[in-house]
Amino acid sequence: MQKRKLGNSGLEVSALGLGCMGLSFGYGPAMEKQDAINLIRKAFEHGITFFDTAEAYGPFTNEELLGEALEPFRDEVVIATKFGFREGKTSLGVDSRPENIRAVAEAALKRLRTDVIDLLYQHRVDPNVPIEDVAGTVKDLIKEGKVKHFGLSEAGVQTIRQAHAVLPVAVLQSEYSLWWREPEQEILPTLEDLGIGFIPFSPLGRGFLTGKIDEHTTFDKTDFRNIVPRFSEDNRKANQALVDLLGKIATKKNATPAQIALAWLLAQKTWIVPIPGTTKLHRLEENVGSAAITLGAADLEEINGAISTIEVQGARYPEQLQKMVGR
């Protein structure tokens, strides 16, 4: 698989990463541990060198899983993890106090079985802690050799610029896909201006853009999508038009809707690296195949023109979680 450089940071990773949250958390029961380890190692065999986790995924179990799975080839991969929630639990709210950042970093090093974290993100902006203090704490961790690069997740333009003035932000991670294009308005131009890479999470619309979910789909009771407005039965029915359109384009390209959705993201900027997650080996292989699909200017024009006629229905987060993004 081709490699990509994330902005001016010097951080180079595979064109696609693996978002590992769903192996342990968020979309129903956790995978059996050995099956999850096998999937992670299979991703590496397919050329994926960028793996995304967080203390909050579990909490803690996802980092432990990655630590064990990646240990045999630790030096050949880039591991990204995150701090920023009280006790690692999203339900308890944000916590980016310097002492918590340090404690999380130390614990993550042990769970990940490594002596350095390649990329450490602030998971969500903490309005009670100046971003300058957050960046300054990570800067100290970098000086101490415990962290290599600093990232932000779901941060707004002002926060990105303030943090970057203290410590270069290597990458921003936020949701971006054919059904959530808001980053194109302010975020992408800011990242380009500052030389910051971009990591789109949920690049397949939390699974919806694969075409395998419709208004009749039922999710496990612990699945996060049950509380997402965009996944209400009525909104899934309304948003089916987008998937149908992707299906038509995919047929022309001898590809799948998921592959077109990922190839579209890869075609936007050379410093974008999507991190689709999956628990299924055949889906992993399907996603990897998207990196070999080239969409030319005419293809992109056709996709953008067709998609501009469709208005996606439903918010991407329930109200209480929406308040935590874009700050």
* Integer Cα distance of 166 and 194 in angstroms: 13
- Measuring CA to CA, which residue among 167, 141, 95 is closest to residue 324? 95
For 39-61, give the DSSP string: HHHHHHHTT--EEE--TTTTTTH
- Measuring CA to CA, which residue among 228, 221, 177, 219 is closest to residue 199? 177
Residue 238 dihedral angles phi and psi, to the nearest 5°: -65, -35
* Integer Cα distance of 284 and 43 in angstroms: 7
* Integer Cα distance of 135 and 131 in angstroms: 6
| Annotated catalytic residue 57 | yes
The H helix count followed by the E strand count for the chain is 11, 9
CB 119 within 8 A of CB 149: yes
The C-alpha angle with vertex 244 and arms to 243 and 249, in degrees rounded to 5, equals: 95
For 141-201, give the DSSP string: HHHTTSEEEEEEES--HHHHHHHHHHS-EEEEEEE-BTTB-GGGTTHHHHHHHHTBEEEEE
* Integer Cα distance of 260 and 146 in angstroms: 38
| Active-site residue identified among 57, 121, 176, 317 | 57
Question: In this structure, are strands 169-175 and 197-201 parallel, antiparallel, or unpaired?
Answer: parallel
Question: Considering all CA atoms of the chain, what is the largest pairwise distance in Å, rounded to the nearest integer?
Answer: 54
CA distances from 113 to 23, 52, 71, 160, 273 (A): 18, 15, 7, 30, 25
Catalytic residue ranges:
57
